[in-house]
């Protein structure tokens, strides 16, 4: 095969160039383009996607420079059953990850990728996760045959020529040092897995393969993704690098890569408190990160560092500091509205990409929960005519928006600070219709890790192939930890040794229901009342009242101005815990303990016994 034509500006750095040439020889693309990240390049790719039918250009007067994409129904979510951690030893992957030996998986991957890009363009995307000058920033190179991936990656992280130049200068030794990932890149390869025969035109707007592999090699820091075009499987800087590979790098270097939002809360006295929160997908994480205080909270300000991923490390000031490795939001659209999350709505007003939502007759997007009354007609996420009462959803439950973080009205001034921001509290929470009270605080670090490790939530639409019900999701990292989950919990316990000032730990549950199925707490912006109590606990301004499960507030500790219809009785229902339910809760944790038995930290066993004793 002759060398394919190359556009853009290739690197002259030998190590990177050799790897790209090897992958070109394997994948056999018809052309190679080195992505520069420019506006002109992005517009050309979007025009190409419109011409191909992958994108529908939205009404520029309503939604400027924005597009709608529709995927195949078989490619709408993360595929956890096809996601692999290929460590050399099976025990390093642990019982909660799918494992295969790297040697065996490389044979499969080489077979799958052999000619996988035939008839297509290979895009070479230099990208950086995190502010480029941060000590935790990681440079990666993603090779992909999907223009959809290129334009989404441009929103989600630093991409383009300036990242490549940074890597080249590091390899020459003339870039400023101080970054852990100095002088290497994380190789990432992605293909939709649908090669084209010579002379055959690509008429498929969303090519994907029925067979899918999302593969991580922790020891060599490599990522290979085959068969899927969905964001969580194809944007390899996101879950794959920023969580699965980064969690392994963090374990080896005394920092943490977490599935967490980072939120800033500034009180009327001007003091700002940063909180990190872990919630399973589609459990309100983005809504909380973009919370707008009720009008009664005059003088309070909220700001967002990140809505999905946080990298945390022991700073020289003795506290945990956090950065957001991303530059965009890949949020769940259904349920998002000006009533539930006005900040997200403002963030996606322009320069955004919508996937698997409905298309209105005037060229805008719509999804369930966006407005009280649905449109009389639209085109649904499958491209079919839709009207109210037709028996189908207009948008897929896991429909997404990709929006630049810099467009967020409440973006924190420090969101690109290489030194990150100090974290004063961790919040854990999932969808629990019973058992879990509105909020409680763990007694200490050891108890807090136990609370986060045993967190449970109802399964959501963000993950395909999972049974309905409640599953244990330690720190919301079960699908994203790149190594043994038991060792991951050990790492949490070990991190306290590197700190002199510790964050507090809290558990929240916005989703508790009464016997009629009604939510006991109004949620959304009213969650600010819970956050105020958490902030006051971190500052030592309010008492905590001891219960067997942790410290809790009293009714008088909350600010209920403007929420007069929420009585003391309503508060106690939302805060109540049942001894019998909690005993069942402890028993139901047994499956997790059995899975992680061998590497389970002894502190977890002690905490379970202590809780059992307190409940007895």
Write out the binding residues for substrate: 78, 230-232, 281, 398-400
CA distance 503 to 534: 11
Catalytically annotated residue among 46, 208, 283, 538? 283
Q: Tell me the binding residues.
A: 78, 230-232, 239, 259, 281-287, 308, 398-400, 431, 524-527
CA distance 355 to 69: 5
Strand order across the 358-360 sheet? 365-366, 358-360, 378-379, 385-386
Q: Is 71:206 a contact under the CB 8 Å cutoff? A: yes
CA distance 430 to 507: 9
Report H helices in 223-325. 231-234, 246-253, 285-289
DSSP 430-444: ---SSSS-SEEE-SS
CA distance from start to end of the chain: 73
Q: How far is CA 487 from CA 48, 472, 546, in A?
A: 46, 16, 31
CA distance 614 to 579: 10
Query: Residue with structure tokens 């016994």?
Result: 609
Partners of 552 in the β-ladder: 545
User: Which SS3 state, helix, strand or coil, does residue 478 take?
Assistant: coil
Nearest to 25 by CA among 158, 90, 115: 115
- Compute CA 145 distance to the chain's CA centroid, rounded to the nearest angstrom: 23
Supply the Cα-derived Rg of the chain in whole angstroms: 24
Q: Please report, to the nearest 10 degrees, the dihedral formed by the alpha carbons of residues 243, 248, 254, 257 taken in order.
A: 0
Q: Is 19:142 a contact under the CB 8 Å cutoff? A: no
As given in the structure block, the two tokens for residue 297 are: 């909270």
Partners of 127 in the β-ladder: 140, 159
CA distance 350 to 142: 26
Based on the residue annotation, tell me whether 538 is a catalytic residue of this protein: no
Measured from the Cβ of residue 338, the count of other Cβ atoms closer than 10 Å reads 12
- Compute CA 598 distance to the chain's CA centroid, rounded to the nearest angstrom: 29
Query: Residue with structure tokens 């967020």?
Result: 408
Per-residue HEC secondary structure of 22-34 comes to HHHHHHCCCEEEE
Helical pair 39-52 and 147-156, crossing angle rounded to 10 deg: 140
Pairing of the two strands 213-217 and 186-191: unpaired
Nearest to 395 by CA among 376, 382, 377: 382
DSSP 492-519: HHHHGGG-SS--EEEEE-TT-B-TTS-B
Partners of 378 in the β-ladder: 360, 386
CA distance 389 to 545: 50
Burial class for 458, CB neighbours closer than 10 Å (0-12, 13-18, 19+)? middle
Active-site residue list: 283
């Amino acid at each position: 095969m002759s060398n394919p034509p190359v556009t853009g500006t290739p690197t002259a750095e030998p190590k990177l160039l050799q790897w790209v040439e090897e992958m070109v020889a394997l994948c056999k693309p018809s052309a190679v383009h080195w992505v520069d990240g420019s506006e002109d390049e992005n517009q050309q790719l979007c025009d190409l996607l419109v011409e191909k039918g992958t994108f529908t250009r939205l009404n520029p007067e309503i939604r400027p420079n924005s597009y709608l994409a529709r995927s195949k129904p078989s490619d709408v979510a993360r595929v956890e059953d096809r996601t692999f951690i290929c460590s050399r030893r099976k025990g390093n992957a642990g019982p909660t990850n799918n494992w295969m030996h790297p040697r065996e998986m490389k044979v499969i991957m080489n077979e799958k990728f052999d000619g996988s890009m035939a008839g297509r363009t290979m895009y070479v995307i230099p990208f950086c996760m995190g502010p480029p000058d941060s000590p935790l920033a990681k440079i990666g190179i993603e090779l992909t045959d999907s223009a959809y991936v290129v334009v989404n990656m441009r929103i989600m992280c630093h991409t383009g020529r300036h990242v490549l130049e940074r890597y080249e200068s590091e390899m020459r030794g003339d870039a400023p040092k101080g970054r852990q990932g100095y002088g290497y890149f994380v190789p990432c390869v992605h293909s939709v897995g649908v090669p084209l025969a010579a002379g055959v035109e690509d008429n498929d707007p969303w090519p994907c393969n029925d067979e899918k592999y999302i593969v991580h090699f922790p020891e060599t820091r490599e990522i290979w993704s085959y068969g899927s075009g969905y964001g969580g499987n194809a944007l390899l800087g996101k879950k794959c690098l920023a969580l699965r590979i980064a969690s392994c790098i963090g374990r080896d270097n005394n920092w943490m890569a977490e599935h967490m939002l980072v939120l800033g809360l500034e009180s009327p006295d001007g003091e700002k408190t940063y909180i990190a929160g872990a919630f399973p997908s589609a459990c309100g994480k983005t809504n909380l990160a973009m919370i707008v205080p009720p009008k009664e909270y005059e003088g309070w300000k909220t700001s967002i560092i990140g809505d999905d991923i946080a990298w945390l490390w022991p700073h020289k000031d003795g506290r945990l500091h956090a950065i957001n490795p991303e530059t965009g939001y890949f949020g769940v659209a259904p349920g998002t509205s000006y009533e539930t999350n006005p900040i997200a709505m403002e963030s996606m007003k322009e320069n955004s990409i919508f996937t698997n939502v409905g298309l209105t007759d005037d060229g805008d997007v719509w999804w369930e929960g966006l407005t009280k009354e649905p449109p009389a007609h639209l085109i649904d996420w499958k491209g079919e005519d839709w009207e109210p009462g037709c028996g189908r959803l207009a948008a897929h439950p896991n429909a997404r928006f990709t929006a630049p973080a810099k467009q967020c009205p409440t973006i924190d001034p420090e969101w690109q600070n290489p030194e990150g921001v100090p974290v004063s509290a961790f919040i854990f929470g999932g969808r629990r219709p019973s058992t879990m009270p509105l909020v409680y605080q763990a007694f200490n670090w050891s108890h807090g890790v136990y609370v986060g490790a045993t967190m449970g939530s109802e399964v959501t639409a963000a993950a395909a192939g999972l049974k309905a019900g409640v599953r244990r999701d330690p720190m919301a990292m079960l699908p994203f930890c790149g190594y043994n989950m038991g060792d991951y919990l050990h790492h949490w316990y070990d991190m306290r040794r590197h700190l002199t000032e510790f964050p507090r730990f809290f558990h929240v549950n916005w989703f508790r229901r009464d016997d009629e199925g009604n939510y006991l707490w109004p949620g959304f912006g009213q969650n600010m009342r819970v956050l105020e109590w958490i902030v006051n606990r971190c500052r030592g301004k309010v008492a905590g009242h001891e219960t067997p499960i942790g410290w809790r507030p009293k009714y008088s500790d909350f600010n209920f101005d403007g929420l007069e219809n929420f009585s003391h009785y309503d508060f106690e229902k939302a805060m109540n815990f049942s001894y019998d339910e909690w005993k069942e809760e402890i028993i139901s944790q047994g499956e997790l303990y059995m899975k992680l038995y061998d590497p389970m930290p002894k502190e977890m066993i002690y905490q379970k016994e202590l809780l059992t004793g307190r409940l007895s």
